[in-house]
Structure 1
Amino acid sequence: MMSRASQMNERMNNPMNTAADVLDLAPVVPVVALDDVAHAVPLAEALLRGGIGTIEVTLRTPAGLPAIERIAAEVPDMVAGAGTITEPGQAKRAVDAGARYLVTPGATDRLLDDLDGVGAPYLAGAATASEAMRLAERGATAMKFFPAEPSGGVAYLKAIAGPLPHLRFCPTGGISPETAPAYLALPNVGCVGGSWLAPKDVLAAGDWTKVEQLAREAAALR
């Protein structure tokens, strides 16, 4: 049987062609809003040491794009994604910076057209069955479920698995280490997004040993 480390290496070394590939990168995708670009590389290295091979750097702060660029250039084994893509133009800038996949909180036709034009895998956000079906009509089989907890959480995903068995999700929003296992046990969940792997106070303190520990615990969830 292939070890967890070997499985992670295989996933990272294989090219990502679809959003479904993103769901298999790690059981927990760290969702991080960085305020200091200098934290990008040591954070990525600590996550890797802990067994988490991907990071979603959100574009909520000015440090987002340069942080992705630093990670892509200096930590090539880390699969960097760009989150909080909300308007046309952001996707191309993120990919140009080195992002290998894109994540949106929701989906409009204009934004989806722009994402399709960029060509990188993306997880578009959906919070209802209708929104998920609309994305499926455009060919998506993997998407983000956001905001997960306020939108019904585990119970909601269980409910839509019956009528929409071909769709898989990355639930994000309000998920904790305590609730993540219940999500990951669902057949229509590939991974979860979580901000707890890189708390702001831990980043501010530069406590990369703590980040590594949190990553190791998250990697063991599946």
Structure 2
Amino acid sequence: MSNLVESLRAIKVVPVIAINNAEHAAPLAKVLIENGLPCAEVTYRTPAAEQAIRNMRDAYPDLIIGAGTVLTSAQVDSAIDAGVDFIVSPGLNPTTVKYCQQRGVTIVPGVNSPSQVEQAMELGLETLKFFPAGPSGGVNMLKALTAVYPIQFMPTGGVSPSNVHEYLDIPAVFACGGTWMVPNNLVDEERWDELAELVASVAKLFD
């Protein structure tokens, strides 16, 4: 887990992607790699998720790939079979967490309160998603949580170019999840040049 966290810490932003057509996965991965964000969280919000992950993994073995919006053990199995490096869930489901632990895959579940952080710690977790970050109190809430708990966080939901640095300035934040550099319409319409500009602009925020 520590190697994964350090790799994501170096990248700083994890593109969160809903792919409608698995054939777009490899070209999108190419855009991400060539423009400074060599990672992707492919969400299970579309039926194409598993095949999209497979296509990314086959084309770019070194890409860091997470499966997002994972809600069931069956989706965990699907994501592992497709070749993911880690699992992300929107909430803290002990059943899903324990199943990931049994399968030997890293899970980063979502929390947004002290009680949920303590439940996660009881399950042996040290890395969590703060979600939805904006509606849950944003930077101030996350500062309050990190002042109390020895947890590393990946805030997602409401993170944007205007506030990403505020989140990343919190020492316990290892990366932020975001969707703004991978709009669905640009992916669906295969507008790779425009996507490349967006991804590069995000990478340049941290030069």
Fold conserved between structures, TM > 0.5 = yes
User: How many positions carry a matched residue from both structures?
Assistant: 206
Q: What is residue 17 of structure 2 aligned with on the other side?
A: 32
Does the CA contact (< 8 Å) of 1:19 and 1:142 recur in 2? no
Does the aligned pair in 1 maintain the 2:69–2:89 contact within 8 Å?
yes
Q: Which residue of 1 aligns with 2:80?
A: 95
Q: In structure 1, what is the Cα distance between the partners aligned to 2:94 and 2:45?
A: 22
- For 1:197, what is the secondary structure of its paired residue? coil
> What's the TM-score once normalised by structure 2's chain length?
0.93
User: Alpha carbons of 1:92 and 1:25: their partners in 2 closer, same or farther (altered >3 Å)?
Assistant: farther
d(CA) in 1 for partners of 2:93 and 2:4? 18
Choose from 101, 108, 131 the match for 2:116. 131
Pairing of 1:67-216 with structure 2 (within 5 A): 67-164=52-149, 166-216=150-200
- Summarize the Cα distance change of 1:121–1:33 in structure 2 as closer, same or farther, 3 Å threshold: same
Following superposition, the deviation at residue 18 of structure 1 comes to 6.4
What is the Cα deviation at residue 217 of structure 1?
2.2
Deviation by residue 1:158-180 (Cα, 9 ceiling, x = unmatched):
1122211x211000112111121
Structure 1 portions without partners, runs of 5+: 1-15
TM-score w.r.t. the length of structure 1 is 0.87
1:154, 1:183 within 8 Å by CA — same for their partners in 2?
yes
CA displacement, residues 190-217 of structure 1 (integer Å, 9 cap, x when unaligned): 1110011110221122121222222222
- Say if 2:48 is the partner of 1:63: yes
Equivalence for 1:43: 28
The alpha-carbon distance between structure 1 residues 163 and 141, as it changes in their structure 2 partners (threshold 3 A), is same
**Equivalents in 2 of 1:22, 1:114: separation in Å?**
24
Could you tell me whether the CA contact under 8 Å between 1:25 and 1:54 is conserved in 2? no
Give the 3 Å change call, closer, same or farther, for CA 103–21 of structure 1 in structure 2. Answer: farther
Secondary structure of the residue aligned to 2:148 is: coil
> Aligned-pair distance for 1:220?
3.0
Compared CA separation, residues 130 and 18, structure 1 to 2 (3 A): farther
Q: Distance in 2 between matches of 1:157 and 1:37?
A: 35
Secondary structure of 1:193's aligned partner: strand
Which whole-Å deviations, capped at 9, do the CAs of 1:73-93 have from their partners, x for residues lacking one? 112231111011111221121
